[in-house]
Amino acid sequence: MNKKLSTFLFAIIFLLFSFTIGSVGHASEIDFSVKAILPENQRSKEISYFDLRVVPGETQTLNVELTNDTDKDITVYASANAAITNDNGVVDYSYNDTKKDASATFTFSEIASIPKEIILPKKSNKIVGCVIKLPKDSFDGYVLGGLYFEQKEAKESKSEGALAVGNRFSYVVGVLLSETDKEVKPELALNEVKATQLNGNNAVIMNIQDKKAAMIKKLQVDAKLYFEDETKPRYENHQESLTMAPNTNFNYKIDLNNQPFVAGNYTVKIKANDGHKDWTWERKFEIKEKEAKKYNATATNLPPDQKNQFPWTVVVGIGAVILVVILGITYYFNQKMKKEQKKYEDLKKTLDKPE
């Protein structure tokens, strides 16, 4: 009973972030629809995405039905995309040219192929096939991807000016592949930590990686940023209900909340929990003066007086060096003058002695 309940909950959560409809533009309705034709090796017939038990080395065609109910022909771009975890902590299927995570043996996009352009005549249906070629070596856990369909931009929207984005609609049909029932648990790792700028906002990002072929459905992350030897964090971020695709990574951020970067040494402390296991990391890194100045100058959310702050730390440092040099020179000549004075006095005493 518990296993059935777990499977049911898994299906609901997967469905929430595996099947998405997006639109950008001025139209109020989508011009086409997509429906997965579920095959015999579908693990559950009660869901609308592909959840397949596959066999190593086999080739299988996944069929989807595209429907155009309008009175005009439309063009649809299609791609078979590997699932990634975007920087908002959400599983995303909309990118067809992504870098493979170092932990992945292969990705869905590497084993799947689909026609790149599909013409849908008015008032028609069309079956489109995606061919999947499984590697000969078996795998445990999951491979996650999506069949992504996007309507071609209407020609008339191009003449509306540079600000026009046109009508863009997309469907995603999730594809979840597995070969065994062996449970694979997530394994998180912290990679690079660095200062950066996101959409004109200063931030520190921490790259978090899921190194196993396991989905994370409810990730909680708490990150705190400390300056130098301070015991109270200057900035922090806490988020819940994040999701991660198998064998992917994403950049978790701490926003500086409209504050400029200050050069110096920092420590970031991170805690993560997937509902079953805790991970903790601590990482030290440096933000250099040149780096801080560069980002502060281009930040869109800083007032002018903070964009080009006078580099007092540099001035104080240079001043200290100059002062040491001056004191050193003064001491040198002072000592030299004392020696010359002593020589003069000794010579005078010699000359003043009676013969």
45 touches 17 (CB < 8 A): no
Residue 240 is assigned to a structural domain of this protein: yes
Q: What percent of the chain has pLDDT over 70?
A: 78
Share of the chain residues as helix, strand and coil, in percent rounded to the nearest 5: 25, 40, 35
| Last-in-domain residue among 154, 178, 202 | 178
Phi, psi of 258 (to 5 degrees): 65, 25
Residue 244 is assigned to a structural domain of this protein: yes
Residue 41 is assigned to a structural domain of this protein: yes
Q: What gap in Å lies between CA 222 and CA 277, rounded to an integer?
A: 14
Which of 127, 108, 109 has the alpha carbon at shortest distance from 54? 108
Query: Residue 190 is encoded by which pair of tokens?
Result: 């912290």
N- to C-terminal Cα distance for the chain?
Answer: 125
Which of 251, 176, 165, 240 has the alpha carbon at shortest distance from 208? 251
One domain, residues 172 and 292: no
Residue 252 is assigned to a structural domain of this protein: yes
- Residue 95 is predicted with a pLDDT of 92
One domain, residues 154 and 13: yes
One domain, residues 328 and 293: no
Query: What is the DSSP secondary-structure string of 192-213?
Result: EEEEEEETTEEEEEEEEEE-SS
Phi, psi of 154 (to 5 degrees): -65, 140
| Last-in-domain residue among 178, 202, 229 | 178
One domain, residues 303 and 320: no
One domain, residues 220 and 323: no
Domain of residue 90, residue span: 2-178
Q: What gap in Å lies between CA 100 and CA 106, rounded to an integer?
A: 8
Residue 47: pLDDT over 90:
yes
What's the CATH code of the domain at 257?
A: 2.60.40.10
Residue 206 is assigned to a structural domain of this protein: yes
Average pLDDT, the chain: 85
One domain, residues 295 and 197: yes
209 touches 189 (CB < 8 A): yes
Q: What gap in Å lies between CA 302 and CA 294, rounded to an integer?
A: 13
Confidence bin at 346 (pLDDT 50/70/90): low
Residue 140 is assigned to a structural domain of this protein: yes
- Residue 13 is predicted with a pLDDT of 46
| Last-in-domain residue among 115, 144, 178 | 178
Query: Residue 237 is encoded by which pair of tokens?
Result: 């971020």
- Residue 334 is predicted with a pLDDT of 79
Q: What gap in Å lies between CA 127 and CA 140, rounded to an integer?
A: 31
Average pLDDT value for residue range 2-20: 46
Residue 195 is assigned to a structural domain of this protein: yes
One domain, residues 93 and 230: no
Confidence bin at 305 (pLDDT 50/70/90): low
One domain, residues 195 and 296: yes
- Least confident window among 41-50, 205-214, 285-294, 296-305: 296-305
Residue 183 is assigned to a structural domain of this protein: no
- Residue 338 is predicted with a pLDDT of 73
The region that residue 89 occupies, defined by phi over 0 for left and psi between -120 and 50 for alpha, beta otherwise, is left
Query: Residue 231 is encoded by which pair of tokens?
Result: 């015991």
Confidence bin at 190 (pLDDT 50/70/90): very high
Q: What gap in Å lies between CA 234 and CA 148, rounded to an integer?
A: 42
From the number of C-beta atoms within 10 Å of its C-beta (0-12, 13-18, 19+), residue 126 rates as middle
Confidence bin at 159 (pLDDT 50/70/90): very low
One domain, residues 224 and 167: no
The total number of structural domains that make up the chain:
3
Beta strands in the chain (DSSP E): 21-24, 32-37, 50-53, 59-68, 74-82, 84-85, 91-92, 112-113, 117-120, 124-133, 143-151, 168-178, 188-198, 201-210, 216-227, 235-244, 248-255, 264-273, 278-287
One domain, residues 193 and 288: yes
Which of 303, 317, 196, 174 has the alpha carbon at shortest distance from 246? 174
One domain, residues 296 and 216: yes
Residue 310: pLDDT over 80:
no
- Least confident window among 12-16, 77-81, 337-341, 349-353: 12-16
Query: What is the Cβ-side half-sphere exposure of residue 221, based on CA atoms within 13 angstroms?
Result: 30
One domain, residues 226 and 109: no
At 192-250, the pLDDT tens digits run 999 999 989 999 999 999 999 999 999 999 999 999 999 999 999 999 999 999 999 99
At 100-114, the pLDDT tens digits run 999 999 999 999 999
Residue 271: pLDDT over 50:
yes
225 touches 234 (CB < 8 A): yes
